[in-house]
């Protein structure tokens, strides 16, 4: 588990979108990153969450 600020990692909204859409080719990698974190402290902002949710609800795939 991350213990200092140098191990913080900002998660882009696209990673949230890919993890949510099971048919996307990037789904597994994105979901694994969010579930495991690979020793990083994953961070998101309220703006990124809103952007990701908007993309999920407007996805036409």
For the chain, which residues make up each domain, given as ranges? 5-57
What pLDDT does 30 receive? 96
What pLDDT does 48 receive? 81
Q: Tell me the backbone φ, ψ of residue 14, rounded to 5 degrees.
A: -60, -35
Token couple for 22: 């099971």
What pLDDT does 36 receive? 93
Q: What angle do CA 9, 12, 49 make, to 5 degrees?
A: 105
What pLDDT does 19 receive? 93
The answer, as to whether pTM is greater than 0.95, is no
CA 23 – CA 25 distance, rounded (Å): 6
What would the pLDDT profile of 22-31 be if each residue is shown by its tens digit?
Answer: 999 999 999 9
């Amino acid at each position: 588990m991350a213990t200092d600020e140098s191990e913080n990692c900002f998660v882009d909204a696209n990673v949230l979108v890919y993890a949510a859409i099971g048919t996307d080719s990037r789904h597994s990698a994105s979901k694994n990153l969010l579930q495991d974190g690979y020793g990083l402290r994953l961070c998101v902002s309220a703006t990124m969450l809103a952007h990701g949710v908007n993309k999920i609800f407007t996805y036409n795939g």
